[in-house]
């Protein structure tokens, strides 16, 4: 299991869709939301993803394909 801190940026048309939930379910990834910010036209979600390494990457790819911008938070906490 790994943890990854990411920032998700949603375009307007995706703000109302439960895409994070779908991704979490489909790839067996646990999202742990730390901060969120939504304006009229764009949404931002800062969270930690916990799961199998490859599954997290697949989940990120899934979101990216839908039009969500996925940016790593630089950098991840050194453990």
Nearer to another protein, 19 or 46 (CB): 46
Listed ranges 17-25, 39-47, 53-61: which one lies at the site for another protein (CB under 8 A)? 39-47
Nearer to another protein, 26 or 61 (CB): 61
The pair of structure tokens assigned to 33 is: 């939301």
Member of 13, 34, 61, 67 binding another protein (CB under 8 A): 34
List, in order, residues 6 or more apart from 2 with CB less than 8 Å away: 50, 51, 52, 53, 56
Q: How far is the CB of 62 from another protein (least distance, A)?
A: 19
| Sheet (strand 2-11) strand order | 30-38, 42-51, 2-11, 69-72
Cβ–Cβ under 8 Å, residues 27 and 62: yes
The binding site for another protein (CB under 8 A) comprises 5, 9, 34-35, 37, 39, 41-44, 46, 48, 69, 71-79
């Amino acid at each position: 299991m790994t943890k990854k801190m990411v920032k998700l940026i949603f375009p307007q048309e995706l703000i109302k869709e439960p895409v994070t939930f779908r991704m979490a379910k489909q790839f067996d990834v646990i999202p742990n939301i730390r901060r969120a910010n939504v304006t009229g036209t764009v949404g931002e979600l800062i969270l930690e993803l916990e799961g199998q390494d490859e599954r997290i990457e697949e989940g990120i790819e899934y979101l990216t394909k839908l039009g969500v911008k996925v940016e790593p938070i630089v950098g991840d906490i050194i453990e």
